[in-house]
Structure 1
Amino acid sequence: MTIMPQSPTPYLLLMLLSLCSFAPANAANALKPDTPSEYSYALPLQVSGKQGVVAFQLPQAVYLNANTANLDDLRVFDANGVAQPHALHRPQVAQPARRDSLAANVFPIRGGSNSTAGGTSIDVDIRTRPDGSVMSVQAHAGKRQGNSGATNATNATLSSLILDFGAAAIGDDNNPVRIDALRFDAPKGEANYNAEVWLQTSSDLKHWSTIGAAELSWLANDNGQTLASDRLEFSPQAFRYARLIWRRGVPAEFAAIHAETLPRQSSEPVRETLWIKPAAVKAIENRAGDQPAGLIYPAGVALPVEQVSLKLSEPNIVLPVALGYYAERRSRHTGKATEWAFRPITHATFYQITQDGQTRRSGALDIRVEHQPEWVIRPLNPAATARPELGLSWQPATLVFLAGGTPPYTLSFGRADATPTSQPLNQVAPGFTPRELARLEQAQAGVLQTGQGAAAGNSAATQAGLSARQRTYILWGVLILGVIVLGGMAWKLIRQMKAGSDKVN
């Protein structure tokens, strides 16, 4: 009986599959030299040569020409083409150290009586300048207790105070000011004072709203020490004008009155903004037919956009929009392989309205950080014809690198298939405090240069085609090698079978 040898075919197939899996990756890595000539763009960096760790805030040109979302294609090369260790750093925004304070311009109202809940209000003549600041205040008492005509302002008693906190109390759309307390200095010449006051606020000096009340008191002892209750607190409000009336105690003019504004949650980081005009209008197909896809704004995939704005040219316009991007997906319709699908990021209403000689504009809109090669605005009003400019804002990163090797240094970027080499900050500047990092020497950039990588065509499509061809060649090579191996094994197997047959005979 002849025992036939077990066929090694399964093991051979497993070996071939392993070669097919690892060979393309290894070959691709072998074909990726990391030299300055492989990058499309370069910025010469000038340093003093006296510092071992240097910083460089990335300019707009880097974000517009880098080919990776996380800036993986950034390299700092020395004169010999040796990459230097680098880290990307975004300094944390410092918290505000104190609350802001606004001093009030105080205008006393004399004559009449206090505006109590059931009393008669005072007719007040308030004159303002063109910028809205209060110029003068005069009260006219109504017909009360036989008194007619204007009250003598000099001899009349104090009844209330008008407060003007100035234009700084208005703020703007991007930085609104909210006041949550008033702080009082004791009346002049009054070491001991006690009264209950009510606070009314207004934005136009015509309509008033009561928002708070407080017991104000100052009590001094023989040693010159004073116990004071000098604050009037209320829920945060936005206002410029206020009126103070007395509910109990003798009205008096305070030495000073200050408004305390809410501190911001955090100081605004330094941002750069890129303004883009719409490039084209696309159309997508769906069950309803061709629909306008909106306005397309080409950008850069490296931009870490965290705020968006619209610059509207129309004098009076309200534009509700959906902001997002288009992504290619497998088509749901017969006859098409792929289709474009709109992916919204957020919905917002932008506007520009002129009212009473002043223009109101929508501010910047905060969004989660997005990296998109192009942005899309789809007006929610189908009849809208506006073509606004799109503003993309981001916080530039600071490149921190070790100034080793041989200067001068060059920042190279613009390569879609680059692997990340950025290191943690503590491995580039170990032991450096935030204060020391903020005081690092800043490298100076030269003129942007186009590298040899741009001529070679370093786009994602080119790289994908090259990788596909490499995989095809390697696969054919492995298959041919497998055929040769299988042929050799078959020939050996036939010889063994023939030899066994001869022994039987």
Structure 2
Amino acid sequence: MNALLLAAAVATTTASDMPQDYTHLIPLSVAGKPSVVQLQLPREAYLNARSASLNDLRVFDAHGTPQAFALRQPDAASSTTHRALPVRIFPLMAERPDAPLAGLEVSTATDGRVLSVRLPAQQGTPSASRTQERLAGLVLDLRQEGLPEPPTVDALHFTLPPGRQTYTGQVWLEASDDLKRWEAVGVAELSWLANASDETLANDKLEFPARPMRYARLSWRSGEPLPFAAISAQAPVHRLAATPVESLLLPAQPGRDPRDLQYSKPAGVTPLGVGLQVDSGNMVLPAMLGSYVEVRRTGQFRFEPAVRTTFYRLEQDGKTRFSGDIAVPVWIGERWVLRFDQPPPVKPALRISWQPATLVFVAGGTPPYTLAVGRDKAAPAARDIGEVAPGFTPAELRTLERATAGAAQEQLAALANAAKRASADNSAAQNRLVILWGVLVLGVAVVAGMVWRLLRQGGAGST
């Protein structure tokens, strides 16, 4: 027994795991010398994998040395853009540009829209001085027509007046909901610099943490107060980037029943959705998706349904309506069967879609690197992401250097070996079945012999 265990251990230890052991090799190109690289798992890897869990994936360097790698589902990356919102500007005039901007006299419409804003008149101020008032600040009405709530903004963008090419000033921003109580929000050093070639370098934004803002007030701490030609509020718009999706059309094959169509799915693909590819005509096809299951007692096959749905394509009023994709349980295996209520008039292809995983590997060997795939009964080699990129945050993982995959290359010797192994496994299975039946028959014969002997002994005793 110990000798058998030792032999099994030695066989396991010395099992070959080299690029030539896999049916397909995909060359990888890596720019620069990054330590950790990511790759969207190419379509060819899924089509040629022999395991639903992608256990037969490997990354090798130029010397055939395996590289540590991990598989992870891509995060839904978000992107932020900005939408410019118009702002209504109301100048605040005073005798001095540094006059306090408190106690505003405001006239508003019934919907809260500002009609006019001015500073209160100073007592004892002669009327001649009132005509020499200068700009002291700006009040902004950010309310958008037709929207009851104030917009959420995170910046103001300024445009110089016509004919003005240079300017520098420090602007303070305050916000309010009622034009009475003001809260400091941010400050910015606005500047526009121009050279003799009319090239301009501008810092024309005042940025701050995103917040709802109904009214704003601008005042100057340095520089000349300026009546800007336009001010726009920048409203952030957050969007989730679409995750990559691959798709494949599976051709239809006749089933065991006239109502059935069979489809063979690649072993490495775990579909997110399944749909029927009907390209023309008006069709409504109720069907059940499932698989054939062998009945051991009779050796016959019965249909085991998993999902019932209705596929359709209808043209109505110049528009075409399609049935959407459906989810499929994993347990139905790799050979699927569509059973229709009636024998189908056409044999449409079955469309499957999946989300390719991201492969992250350590570029610690000698380039170039190769992705190998396609080996029966391969042991899993993927590791946890913490063992491949320790200490990396999700944001850092998303920005890793990306490798580029080339065209997949078939290895005919590996394909032939895979076919031989499959034939040998089939022969071994048949031999085991023959041995099992032989043992069973022998056991029945032994039991029959024992019964016969007991019967004889009983007969002799009675005599």
TM range (shorter): 0.5 to 0.7
Give the match's secondary structure for 1:436: helix
TM-score norm. by structure 2 comes to 0.56
1:309 aligns with 2:275: yes
Corresponding residue number in structure 2 for 1:331: 296
1:277 aligns with 2:251: yes
1:296 aligns with 2:296: no
Q: CA deviation at 1:399?
A: 1.1
Equivalent residue in structure 1 for 2:288, among 276, 298, 322: 322
Kindly provide the CA deviation profile for residues 360-392 of structure 1, in whole angstroms up to 9, marking residues without a partner as x.
22223344567843322221x224323112111
Change over 3 Å in CA distance of 1:267–1:24 after alignment to 2: farther
The letter for the 1-side match of 2:248 is: L
Equivalent residue in structure 1 for 2:30, among 22, 40, 47: 47
The letter for the 1-side match of 2:12 is: N
Kindly provide the CA deviation profile for residues 150-174 of structure 1, in whole angstroms up to 9, marking residues without a partner as x.
xxxxxxxxxxxxxxxxxxxxxxxxx
2:28–2:368 contact (8 Å) kept in structure 1? yes
Corresponding residue number in structure 2 for 1:410: 370
Q: CA deviation at 1:274?
A: 0.5
Q: 2: distance between equivalents of 1:99 and 1:24?
A: 67
1:36–1:77 contact (8 Å) kept in structure 2? yes
Q: 2: distance between equivalents of 1:24 and 1:321?
A: 53
Unaligned 5+ residue runs, structure 2?
A: 85-106, 118-138, 150-237, 434-463
Q: 1: distance between equivalents of 2:23 and 2:44?
A: 12
1:282–1:294 contact (8 Å) kept in structure 2? yes
Overall identity of the aligned pairs, in %: 37
Aligned residues: 300
Q: 1: distance between equivalents of 2:407 and 2:140?
A: 67
Q: 2: distance between equivalents of 1:331 and 1:100?
A: 66
Q: 2: distance between equivalents of 1:62 and 1:320?
A: 34
The letter for the 2-side match of 1:85 is: A
Corresponding residue number in structure 2 for 1:151: none
Unaligned 5+ residue runs, structure 1?
A: 1-15, 102-189, 194-216, 234-262, 284-290, 473-505
Equivalent residue in structure 1 for 2:326, among 339, 342, 365: 365
1:62 aligns with 2:45: yes
Q: CA deviation at 1:77?
A: 1.0
Q: CA deviation at 1:220?
A: 5.2
Q: Which moved more, 1:266-275 or 1:59-68?
A: 266-275
2:260–2:343 contact (8 Å) kept in structure 1? no
Q: Provide the alpha-carbon RMSD of the alignment.
A: 3.8
Kindly provide the CA deviation profile for residues 104-129 of structure 1, in whole angstroms up to 9, marking residues without a partner as x.
xxxxxxxxxxxxxxxxxxxxxxxxxx
Give the match's secondary structure for 2:272: strand
TM-score norm. by structure 1 comes to 0.52
1:343 aligns with 2:317: no
Give the match's secondary structure for 1:349: strand
Q: 1: distance between equivalents of 2:310 and 2:82?
A: 32
Q: 1: distance between equivalents of 2:35 and 2:332?
A: 33
1:29 aligns with 2:12: yes
Change over 3 Å in CA distance of 1:70–1:293 after alignment to 2: farther
Give the match's secondary structure for 1:91: coil
Corresponding residue number in structure 1 for 2:338: 377
Q: CA deviation at 1:403?
A: 0.7
Change over 3 Å in CA distance of 1:48–1:226 after alignment to 2: closer
Give the match's secondary structure for 2:345: coil
2:260–2:338 contact (8 Å) kept in structure 1? yes
Q: CA deviation at 1:90?
A: 1.3
Corresponding residue number in structure 2 for 1:213: none
Q: For residues 100-499 of structure 1, what are the structure 2 equivalents within 5 Å?
A: 191-193=108-110, 217-218=111-112, 268-278=242-252, 280-283=253-256, 291-292=257-258, 294-327=260-293, 329-333=294-298, 336=299, 339-367=300-328, 372-379=333-340, 381-451=341-411, 452-457=413-418, 461-462=422-423, 464-465=425-426
1:89 aligns with 2:89: no
The letter for the 2-side match of 1:426 is: G
Q: 2: distance between equivalents of 1:367 and 1:471?
A: 34
Give the match's secondary structure for 2:37: strand
Give the match's secondary structure for 2:416: helix
2:259–2:343 contact (8 Å) kept in structure 1? no
The letter for the 2-side match of 1:331 is: R
Q: 2: distance between equivalents of 1:95 and 1:446?
A: 29
Kindly provide the CA deviation profile for residues 195-225 of structure 1, in whole angstroms up to 9, marking residues without a partner as x.
xxxxxxxxxxxxxxxxxxxxxx436597579
The letter for the 1-side match of 2:109 is: N
1:40–1:454 contact (8 Å) kept in structure 2? yes
The letter for the 2-side match of 1:434 is: P
Kindly provide the CA deviation profile for residues 238-296 of structure 1, in whole angstroms up to 9, marking residues without a partner as x.
xxxxxxxxxxxxxxxxxxxxxxxxx99x7652201101221x2121xxxxxxx446111
Give the match's secondary structure for 2:112: strand
Q: CA deviation at 1:306?
A: 0.6
Kindly provide the CA deviation profile for residues 117-154 of structure 1, in whole angstroms up to 9, marking residues without a partner as x.
xxxxxxxxxxxxxxxxxxxxxxxxxxxxxxxxxxxxxx
1:417–1:463 contact (8 Å) kept in structure 2? no
Kindly provide the CA deviation profile for residues 385-417 of structure 1, in whole angstroms up to 9, marking residues without a partner as x.
231121110000111111112222111111111
1:415–1:459 contact (8 Å) kept in structure 2? no
Kindly provide the CA deviation profile for residues 420-469 of structure 1, in whole angstroms up to 9, marking residues without a partner as x.
01001111111222222222222222332222321212577346358779
Kindly provide the CA deviation profile for residues 10-52 of structure 1, in whole angstroms up to 9, marking residues without a partner as x.
xxxxxx5x877x5785475256311112111111112224111
